[in-house]
Amino acid sequence: MNPKITYNDLDWHRLWQNAREQKSWTAKGPADWDKKAASFAVRNTSSPYVELVLQRLPLDKATSVLDAGSGPGTLSIPLARQVQSVTALDYSRGMLDVLEKLSHEQDLDNITTVLASWDDDWKKLGIKQHDICIASRSLSVDNLRAALRKLNSYARSYVFIADRISPTPFDPDAFRAIGRPFRSGPDYIYTINTLYSMGIHACVDIISLEAKISFDSIETALESYTWMFKELTAKEEKKLQNYIISNSAPDNNGNIILNRTHPPRWALIWWKKEA
């Protein structure tokens, strides 16, 4: 290594790609999320994460919001109650179907859904600039710089990104329990430094969730944890189940409370567009 190397010599795009190549988890595709949509909506609707994000956003009744990677409306639906309009983008048709169903049930008519990925041409899909652009836990992309540039270009006033702080959302102890190595892959620090290299000086708020997580059964907990892995063998699944049982206890309501050594933490990265 060149002993005189400085920050300006670092290629954060290449470092991001290198970390992506070495991660021990597999990114999910649209078909995977289609299957997960309904259960994902149930678990995330009541998550304290939602309010912790919303309370940090500069919202009013005249605000338009673009929610890139909206999922089943985790943020889009509560946002719609506070702003003029929300455009929800996701590449999973199943997620958007759930979002549309929930918004109809709650009489929300100011949400527009668009089936789109980060790689699609948003302009051709009719996406226009919005006051606020949000990417909430949705930046698992191959080209981080391009995604950040796109998000910034569609924002009039603010950009907010909720990015993972390693090892969130994974449980390294579960990987060890089944005998697999855990390599986190890139987290928020790559995003911060990529933005800096683009001339964007962002603010960061840390959102911390509780170590304990509740499931209605061991089976539900196992289903949730299985999502972390690719192609578990029967032996690995048994080890994972034993790990969950040994680290959980029932509460007074019959639910299973699992105690995590690494509570989920997210970095809310945001900046105001310069005039």
Q: Which residue has the higher pLDDT, 4 or 275?
A: 4
What are the beta bridge partners of residue 204? 269
Quick one: pLDDT band at residue 3, thresholds 50, 70, 90? Answer: confident
Predicted confidence (pLDDT) at residue 29 exceeds the cutoff of 80: no
From the list 167, 174, 180, the residue with the least C-alpha distance to 263 is 167
Give the DSSP letter string of 236-266.
Answer: HHHHHHHHHHHTEEE-TTS-EEEEPSS--EE
- Radius of gyration (Cα) for the chain, nearest Å? 19
pLDDT at 31: 74
Q: What is the pLDDT of residue 33?
A: 66
pLDDT of 5 > 80? The answer is: yes
Q: Is the pLDDT of residue 129 over 70?
A: yes
Encode burial over 29-54: b for 16+ CB neighbours within 10 A, e otherwise.
eeeebbebbeebbeebeeeebbebbe
Tokens representing 173 are: 């102890």
CATH, domain 7-210+263-272, list 3.30.1490.190, 3.40.50.150, 3.10.450.350, 3.40.50.300: 3.40.50.150
CA gap 157, 35 in Å, rounded: 35
How big, in percent rounded to 5, are the helix, strand and coil portions of the chain?
A: 40, 20, 40
- Compute how many other C-beta atoms are within 10 angstroms of the C-beta atom of residue 148: 22
The reported pTM is: 0.92
- The three-class DSSP label of residue 57 is coil
- Which of 170, 198, 177 is CA-nearest to residue 269? 198
Query: Residue ranges per domain, the chain?
Result: 7-210+263-272, 212-259
- pLDDT tens column, 87-118: 999 999 999 999 999 999 999 999 999 999 99
